[in-house]
Structure 1
């Protein structure tokens, strides 16, 4: 499978980097997407709304403010239709999307989130 697995978490990048300390209860959303499934976070980086911390694909790690990420999650992760993945929004495959609305609602706009995008190829 060529694609990406995305995790958005309230945990710090340092905690996310230590697999023994990852707290799944801090996950706001996770999903799998195809080849262009990471374009949305690259676009946020280009706009200065996200910062890339690592880029080796295992994972690519970013930080961004909740105020820039939460509207994307609240509007829903677009489900790819017929292999088309919009480049400007999160996308996922049906059945591979988990969104925790209660956790998203508890986030303040100024809270720093960690975004991990894992290469699935």
Structure 2
């Protein structure tokens, strides 16, 4: 499959990079998408609202304030219908997992980690 697997977590860069099971209870949302599925976070980087820390696809790592990304999640992850360029994430039907109770516990200033894994 050509595309991306996205994970949004409350873990820090150091916590996520450490060996172990990767704090599953810190995961806020995950989804699979097609080739354009990383465009939304790259757009946030261009706008200065997110910062990219790893670039190799295994994974791409970004940090972004909860106040930026959580309103995007609140709108819902729309169904992926092909290549998409824009500010909203999109996902293959049935691949979205969102933990609303964990999202509700985030503070606006909290930094979140977004990982985007190459699925090719």
TM bucket (normalised to shorter chain) is: over 0.9
**Equivalent residues in 2 for 1:82-97, closer than 5 Å:** 83-97=82-96
* Matches of 1:47 and 1:19, distance apart in 2: 32
1:11-32 CA deviation, whole Å, 9 max, x = no partner? 1111111241510110000000
With the length of structure 1 as denominator, give the TM-score of the two structures.
Answer: 0.94
Q: Which residue of 1 aligns with 2:78?
A: 78
* Matches of 1:4 and 1:84, distance apart in 2: 12
Structure 1 stretches lacking a partner, 5+ long: none
Contact kept in structure 2, 1:15 and 1:21, CA below 8 Å: no
Q: Which residue of 2 aligns with 1:6?
A: 6
With the length of structure 2 as denominator, give the TM-score of the two structures.
Answer: 0.95
Structure 2 stretches lacking a partner, 5+ long: none
Number of residue equivalences: 120
Aligned-residue RMSD, C-alpha: 1.1
